Structure 1
Amino acid sequence: MFNMPSYYQLSSIQRGYPYYRSASGESSYISLEEALSLIEQAVSGEREDELFYDYLISMAPTQQEREIIISIRDDERKHNRMFRMIFEAFTGRAIQSPTEVQFQKPESFNEGVEKALMGELKAVERYRNIRAGLLNRYYRDMVFEILTDELKHASKYNFILNLELKRKLNDIAN
């Protein structure tokens, strides 16, 4: 009769976990190659993002909102530099940016802020996967900084949307 090994004798793949093990013994559900591909995708849209942020800045109804979006745009520029550095450290090559970029303007400032908010939340999910695939703590910590910035950006966009709601409520009350 065939003896089935105990649960703990099975490899992680046999137990149904799609993790891989690095040479250092760390486990992850995302490979380094997948993480690098996600970095490349994140950076490839940088020019379109910059045009989008510049548009939002130009449409912002107050100086306070302009300054908030400028700070977010500047963080995004920093993130792109960090992702480029990580990619080059692992691959030895630079990420090429597209030369011609199409930019679709939102119909209103608020629609743009809502789009930006949802983009920040999607980025958190993508960057969490990037972080999981990086084997070196130094680079994982860099991506953690980017992740926390993205969460901060989402909060700032929510703040801007609340400012607009307050303006509308004041208009109704007056």
Structure 2
Amino acid sequence: MYYCPNRSAYVPLYYRPASPVASYKSLDEALKLIEQAIKGEREDELFYDYLIAEAPTQEDKEIIVSIRDDEIKHNRMFRMIYEAFTGKNVQSPTEVQFQKPSSYIEGVKKALLGELKAVENYRNIRAGLPNRYYRDMVFEILTDELKHASKYNLILNLDLRRKVYS
């Protein structure tokens, strides 16, 4: 049993109201991770341009373009969240070093692992945000990242299939 001061009574634990500030991550941690995600925007843009240019089929290109377009949306959402809590805009670096992958497929593998790493970071961002409105925005981004990982797996499977049946 738990004593609930709002009700002036003891209630079962499962009725205990959630604390509005209870979280295992802080807003400061979330904002730092958002800032890092935004600052990686230019390198990501160059990476997607590379993958689209190197894609061997129109189907691959369309898949990667859809992922890139989602990433642009995510960047806008993260900028909005960051500005809502800090009142500031994040400046993206202008000079970026882009390391071209050794091949298209190596780039796809790198992208797949990057999406999964992003899921881990975005979970921490979501946990540090203080209200549902912004947490729901990050949940949308998180589910898109999982969708992207599946799409990259599709590309890898299509590539394998092309190799086996050619």
TM-score, normalised by the number of residues in structure 1: 0.84
Q: Distance in 1 between matches of 2:21 and 2:148?
A: 31
Candidates 43, 56, 62, aligned match of 2:57 = 62
Alignment pair present for 1:94 and 2:89 = yes
Q: Partner of 1:27: helix, strand, or coil?
A: coil
Report the alpha carbon displacement of residue 25 of structure 1 after superposing the two structures with TM: 2.9
* Matched residue, 2:164: 169
SS at match of 1:103: coil
Deviations 1:2-54 (A, max 9, x none): xxxxxx9xxxxxxxxxxxxxxx6341111000000000001100000000000
1:21 corresponds to: none
Q: Is the 8 A contact 2:20 2:130 kept in 1?
A: no
Aligned length: 150
- Describe the superposition over 1:65-102 as per-residue Cα deviations: whole angstroms up to 9, x where unpaired: 00000000000000000000000000000011101011
C-alpha separation in 1, matches of 2:113 and 2:107: 10
Residue 28 of structure 1: SS of its match in structure 2?
Answer: coil
What is the root-mean-square deviation of aligned Cα atoms in Å?
A: 1.3
- In structure 2, what is the Cα distance between the partners aligned to 1:70 and 1:95? 25
**What does residue range 131-142 of structure 1 map to in structure 2 within 5 Å?**
131-142=126-137
Alpha-carbon separation, structure 1, partners of 2:20 and 2:79: 26
- 1:111 corresponds to 2:106: yes
1:46 to 34, 41, 64: 41
Q: Is the 8 A contact 2:30 2:126 kept in 1?
A: yes
Amino acid of the structure 2 residue aligned with 1:61 = P
Gaps of at least 5 residues in structure 2 are 3-18
Aligned-partner Cα distance in 2 for 1:92–1:26:
21
What is the aligned counterpart of 2:23 among 28, 33, 45?
Answer: 28
**Which of structure 1's runs of 4+ aligned residues deviate more than 3 A?**
none
What is the aligned counterpart of 2:151 among 143, 153, 156? 156
Structure 1 unaligned regions, length at least 5: 1-7, 9-23
- Are 1:71 and 2:66 matched, yes or no? yes
Q: Which residue of 1 aligns with 2:32?
A: 37
